[in-house]
Chain A
Amino acid sequence: MITFDHVYKRFNGNVVFNDLVFDVPDGITTVLLGPSGTGKSVFLKMIIGLISPDYGYVWIDDRNIVNLKTKYLYRIREQFGFVFQLSALFDSMSIYENIALPLKMHTQFNEESIYSKVNECLSLVDLEDAGHLYPEELSGGMKKRAAIARALVRDPKYILYDEPTTGLDPRTAAKIENLIIKVQQERKVTSVVVTHDLTSARRVGQYVALLTGGRIAIEGSPEELDESANQELRRFLNEIPQNESLL
């Protein structure tokens, strides 16, 4: 279970989190919605301790990771897969090497086991033939899929997706969304997706929360939010040009 316990965070005087309280439910996909600049990426980075709160606690499985010693923090990070907004594949390595890196560095697997594990992940994301390519040779959607494969390779308990469909055409975005659903169903992981894309949130989210003004304005199942008259939620939806209904 991931828990944000009265978290405060400021950057250069701008309040990002103001007494943020939120529990991420286990075993399902939670979508964190919110306009750009509300701290959605900070939320994800705080979960793995890349950014620390000014005050408050972040609990991962009943362990507070704020100010945790690096050694213990790295152990916690081994339970996570993180898909970055720009994919963040290591551009000096091939896709195969990118995915194999965590196995080479953290496990005692021999080359044969690593090869089989990497290929299993590549096939899950439909990139069986792309292992020898370098990130610069891939399209945006392929990079995202390779990043998902890298995040999955150590069988994490949690997967964090930072704007997984941003910058992709609708068809490719749908492929990524399908992949997020498939990964959740097949691996039974706890997924957290942050996005400002309602269509994407509607497709992948089993639990949805709206982050605005440094707090969670509303949270619940998509159906619950659909029926909600919460003002923050309505304001967020009204700012969407297509006048899309919610979830």
Chain B
Amino acid sequence: MNKIIPQFFTMVVPLGESGLRFFEQIFGVTSLFFQALYELRKIWFYRRQVVEQCYSVGVGSIGLILVVSAFTGMVTAVQAAYQMEPYYPKYTVGALILQSVVLELGPVLTALVLAGRVGAGTAAEIGTMKVSEQVDALESLALNPVGYLAMPRLIAGFVMIPALTIISDTVAVIAGYTVAINTIDMTALEFVKGMRMYFHLHDVIVGMMKAFCFGGMITLIGTYMGLTAKNGAKGVGTATTLSVVTSAVLILILDYVVAQVFL
């Protein structure tokens, strides 16, 4: 008994500490989100940063998104044809590509790729600024780091990631269409017929809602991890890893929540 109680505590105390850290982080991210929203009143003051971030997140990610979405559409076409051809009419391939891309693959894959590019980049950049006193320097120049660093990135996430998702959806469908009519014995008319039969505006809206949520979340998590980085280069590395892992997990959780609520 004398040994069991200390062993119990050595097991439970770290769990308690991790739990506390978890809730501390949830509180921190939520607090940062509302502070950033509050800083929206100074959007004109930080307009240059907003434009720069929108450019960096949006234009800077287009190449990557084009490649990822093209291959997503192509592989969806091949898989759909392989699985459905013996049992369903060919035009259902068009329907399947459109629905799976608009509702799921477009927003989720775009977000996962951008969690790597934008989220990690944000955490590393702001983390480096934090450990090299550049964030303190901003404060000393009477510039609020939430307004200068977090709010422009949050706007960029909310605006540019849905925009990239629209591009991704379009490219994926075009790529799927190209593969479908070239490798499966299928006409363009059949493909379009399938798409039109199963097109619902509601699916597009739900897909965009997902992209909107993912976009804000990716930049928010990256900024939070960067602003809380400590202990030099190792701390920046940890912040970057945590940003990508947390964003990836939250994307999948949010994906489920939105699907469950709106579908």
Contacts and interface: CB of A to CB of B under 8 A. Distances in A.
Nearest to B133: A88
B142 A106 contact: yes
A150 B142 CA distance: 13
A77 interface: yes
B144 A74 contact: yes
B26 interface: no
A148 to B, nearest CB: 13
B136 A45 contact: yes
Interface in A64-118: 70, 74-75, 77-78, 80, 82, 84-86, 88-92, 101-102, 104-106
Contact of B140 (A80, A92, A106): A80
Nearest to A90: B134
Nearest to B135: A88
Interface of A: 45, 48, 50, 70, 74-75, 77-78, 80, 82, 84-86, 88-92, 101-102, 104-106, 150
Given A45-B136, A48-B140, 16 more contacts: A74-B144, A78-B142, A82-B140, A84-B137, A84-B140, A86-B132, A88-B133, A88-B134, A88-B137, A90-B129, A90-B134, A102-B141, A104-B48, A105-B141, A105-B143, A150-B141
A96 B40 CA distance: 28
Contacts of A101: 141, 143
Interface of B: 45, 48, 125, 128-129, 132-134, 136-137, 139-144
B144 A70 contact: yes
Contact of B133 (A48, A74, A78, A86): A86
8 contacts: A48-B140, A84-B140, A85-B133, A88-B132, A88-B137, A90-B134, A91-B132, A105-B45
A30 to B, nearest CB: 18
A86 to B, nearest CB: 6
Nearest to B141: A102
A14 B90 CA distance: 73
Contact of A91 (B48, B134, B136, B141): B134
B141 A84 contact: no
A136 to B, nearest CB: 12
A88 B140 CA distance: 11
Contacts of B129: 90
Shortest beta-carbon contacts, A-B, top 7: A82-B140, A88-B137, A88-B133, A74-B142, A77-B142, A84-B133, A102-B141
B144 A50 contact: no
Contact of A84 (B128, B136, B143, B144): B136
B140 A77 contact: yes
B226 to A, nearest CB: 13
A104 B46 CA distance: 10
A31 to B, nearest CB: 20
B86 to A, nearest CB: 56
B140 A50 contact: yes
Nearest to A79: B142
Contacts of B142: 74-75, 77-78, 102, 106
Contacts of A84: 133, 136-137, 140
A88 B136 contact: yes
Contacts of B48: 104
A48 B140 CA distance: 7
Contacts of B133: 84-86, 88
Nearest to A78: B142
Given A88-B132, A105-B45, A77 B137 contact: no
**Which of A85, A88, A90, A104 gathers most chain B CB within 10 Å?**
A88
A78 B143 CA distance: 10
A74 to B, nearest CB: 4
